[in-house]
Amino acid sequence: MNLASDFEPEVHLFTDGACSGNPGPGGWAFVMRHLASGKEMESSGFEPDTTNNRMELSAVIEGLSALKRPCKVEVFTDSVYVGKGLTEWMPKWKMNQWRRRERGAWKPVKNEELWRRLDEVVSRHQVKYTRVAGHSGHPENERCDELAVAAYQNRR
């Protein structure tokens, strides 16, 4: 994994996931901004039966996958699940063959296929994680939430 903490980002990636019910129909979204040019891109998607955590992961995966070359990326998300996964849990899971300890027993990592995919796309870039407070007026986070909710409401 290629997580860094000290670099000047080239790209800001804002992400969010949303679900109506958990599980239920869900949407993911990202807004990406190239800092030097100010150029922006946004995208969103829908899953008919999913969870909020899966949508949060999908938003980051889709955003990083949209980059055409290796970049220095600062990922902004309100998901503690994604943030802790990137910075704390994933390195341990990888060392333990994608298993986690629960009550003294080894258990499979939940959403393993998405965590593996995230690990793969993160490895192409230098990634810095920054947590933002959800629903706090952060413009890009609010836009991502709007796009993610629209994705599952419109089912596209």
Give yes or no for residue 156 having a pLDDT over 80. no
- Of 10, 12, 26, 56, the catalytic one is 56
Cβ within 8 Å of residue 135, ≥6 positions away: 78, 141, 142, 145
Q: Is 17 a catalytic residue?
A: yes
Q: How far is CA 55 from the centre of its chain?
A: 8
What average pLDDT does this structure show over 19-33? 96
What beta strand segments (E) does 6-156 contain?
11-19, 24-34, 40-50, 72-77, 99-102, 105-108, 126-131
Q: Is 49 a catalytic residue?
A: no
- Of 10, 12, 17, 119, the catalytic one is 17
How would residue 95 be classed by pLDDT, with cut points 50, 70 and 90?
very high
Q: Which two tokens stand for residue 6?
A: 């000290």
> For the segment 58-91, what is each residue's pLDDT rounded down to a tens digit?
999 999 999 999 999 999 999 999 999 999 999 9
Q: Is 102 a catalytic residue?
A: no
Give yes or no for residue 47 having a pLDDT over 90. yes
- Of 10, 12, 16, 74, the catalytic one is 16
Give yes or no for residue 1 having a pLDDT over 70. no
CATH class of 11-80+114-154: alpha beta
Task: Please say whether the beta carbons of 141 and 11 come within 8 A.
Answer: no
Q: Is 56 a catalytic residue?
A: yes
Cα radius of gyration rounded to whole Å, the chain: 15
Give yes or no for residue 23 having a pLDDT over 90. yes
Q: Is 119 a catalytic residue?
A: no
